[in-house]
């Protein structure tokens, strides 16, 4: 049993020290660099073993992985981290706009194999991360991103935005034709995040308006049509689809049920939006989502967040993934800053303590992808199609440092 009061007290002062958080962020970057730098095909090699950092696939390049590593190294540069961060970000940025990007259409391929397109799907989720990466690099003063940022913004608006209901549609093929009628909150959540990043970089109100509209329609209007929480899956007409993947509750990308990790991620985004829009519902809903995530998602016996829970608050899949912990860390510091309630810092300490004792690979600096309920490392962590590049951890540490005032 790892979630103990003594353990939390022992580590709390450490986890709240910005110097320690900065060092942890740097350690995550060092786990990936220089191994992830692909000098053969360009871009990154993100498939590194959670155990020892060895490469298990040197050719596959998933669009979000490319974008997330650009973000990671951009953050490192912004924080005056290791000198190689700027060059590493430029390296990935060049591959993003010259290889993933189709110069004729402005679309970005979902998967590359070396320098060849393996899957040309125009993914909503993927294009959100393109916008996010470009804005992050721009904020760090890395590369000449403005032309590409304007282009991908136009592409997103033209092909993915649905004015009514004011949300983004799902994936398209290389010719911009729909590939399914599915609609989902996950891609829209990352579109919200990306538009906030683009607003931070450009100051263009368009991005803030889009981010707010997404949040209002998903986290307020559609949530109120359901259980007051944020459901994952919708029909083509944006009706709540209570049956989608009910038979696949452990699905890696579209599981049935409520996901504590996404509720925490939305808590963070809603508080961030409240810095720009004086709307009471933003922080109120952020607190509601956070409370639901910890009440229904935290394992009181073994610690950590379960993967998902049903509409009655009962656990569905009890595996523990790394990323909800990182999102919880980011949410707690923002909620504490917004509300002044000490309980959020208590949760900050609790989440960090669990992660440090169970999820952080202290020898290498990375985080293990998935644990069993009893906190044993899953045997399949290096076989997952989900590429783990440290984005969630870097983002969490960056949020802690920004909230503490350690970032300009």
- Radius of gyration of the CA atoms of the chain, in A: 20
Catalytic residue among 190, 195, 233, 392: 392
* Alpha helices per DSSP H over 140-175: 146-159
* C-alpha distance from residue 282 to each of 103, 133, 229, 353, 378 (Å): 39, 25, 13, 28, 37
Count CB neighbours of 278 within 10 A: 7
Structure tokens at 175: 């010719």
Contact between 162 and 234 (Cβ < 8 Å): no
Count CB neighbours of 227 within 10 A: 14
State yes or no: is 378 an active-site residue. Answer: no
Q: State the Cα–Cα distance between residues 129 and 402, nearest whole angstrom.
A: 21
Closest CA to 365 of 77, 10, 48: 48
SS3 content of the chain, % helix, strand, coil (to 5): 50, 10, 40
Q: State the Cα–Cα distance between residues 69 and 79, nearest whole angstrom.
A: 15
Q: State the Cα–Cα distance between residues 153 and 158, nearest whole angstrom.
A: 9
State yes or no: is 276 an active-site residue. Answer: no
DSSP string covering 104-169: TT--B-SEEETTEEEE--B-HHHHHHHHHHHHHHHHTT-S--HHHHHHHHHHHHHHTEETTTTEE-
Q: If you count DSSP H runs as helices and E runs as strands, how many of each does the chain have, helices first?
A: 14, 13
Catalytic residue among 24, 51, 262, 275: 262
* C-alpha distance from residue 33 to each of 26, 205, 237, 326, 384 (Å): 10, 36, 44, 21, 21
Count CB neighbours of 299 within 10 A: 17
Print the SS3 string covering 33-53. CCCCECCCCCCECCEECCCCC
Q: State the Cα–Cα distance between residues 408 and 405, nearest whole angstrom.
A: 7
Q: Any idea which residues carry the catalytic annotation?
A: 262, 392
């Amino acid at each position: 049993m790892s979630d103990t009061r003594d353990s939390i007290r022992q580590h709390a002062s450490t986890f709240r020290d910005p110097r320690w958080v900065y060092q942890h962020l740097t350690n995550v970057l060092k786990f990936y660099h220089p191994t992830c730098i692909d000098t053969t095909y360009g871009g990154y090699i993100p498939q590194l073993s959670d155990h020892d950092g060895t490469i298990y696939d040197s050719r596959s390049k998933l669009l979000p992985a490319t974008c997330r590593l650009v973000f990671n190294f951009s953050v490192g540069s912004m924080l005056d981290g290791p000198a190689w961060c700027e060059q590493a970000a430029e390296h990935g940025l060049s591959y993003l706009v010259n290889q993933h990007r189709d110069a004729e259409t402005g679309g970005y391929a979902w998967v590359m194999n070396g320098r060849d397109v393996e899957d040309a799907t125009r993914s909503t989720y993927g294009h959100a991360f393109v916008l996010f990466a470009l804005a992050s690099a721009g904020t760090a003063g890395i590369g000449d991103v403005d032309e590409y940022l304007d282009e991908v913004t136009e592409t997103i608006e033209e092909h993915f935005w649905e004015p009514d209901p004011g949300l983004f549609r799902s994936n398209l093929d290389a010719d911009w034709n729909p590939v399914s009628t599915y609609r989902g909150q996950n891609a829209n959540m990352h579109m919200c995040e990306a538009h906030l990043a683009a607003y931070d970089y450009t100051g263009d109100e368009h991005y803030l308006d889009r981010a707010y509209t997404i949040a209002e329609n998903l986290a307020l209007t559609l949530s109120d049509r359901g259980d007051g929480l944020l459901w994952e899956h919708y029909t083509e007409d944006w009706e709540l689809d209570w049956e989608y993947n009910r038979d696949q509750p452990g699905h890696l990308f579209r599981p049935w049920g409520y996901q504590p990790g996404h509720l925490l991620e939305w808590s963070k985004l809603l508080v961030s939006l409240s810095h720009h829009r004086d709307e009471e519902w933003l922080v109120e809903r952020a607190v509601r989502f956070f409370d639901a995530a910890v009440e229904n998602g935290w394992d009181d016996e073994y610690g950590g967040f379960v993967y998902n829970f049903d509409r009655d608050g009962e656990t569905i899949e009890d595996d523990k993934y790394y990323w909800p912990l990182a999102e919880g860390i980011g949410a707690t510091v923002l909620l504490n800053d917004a509300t002044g309630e000490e309980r959020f810092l208590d949760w900050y300490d609790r989440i960090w303590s669990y992660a440090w004792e169970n999820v952080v690979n202290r020898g290498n600096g990375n985080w293990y992808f998935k644990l069993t309920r009893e906190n044993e490392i899953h045997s399949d962590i290096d076989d997952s199609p989900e590429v783990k590049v440290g984005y969630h951890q870097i983002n969490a540490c960056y949020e802690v440092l920004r909230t503490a005032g350690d970032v300009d």
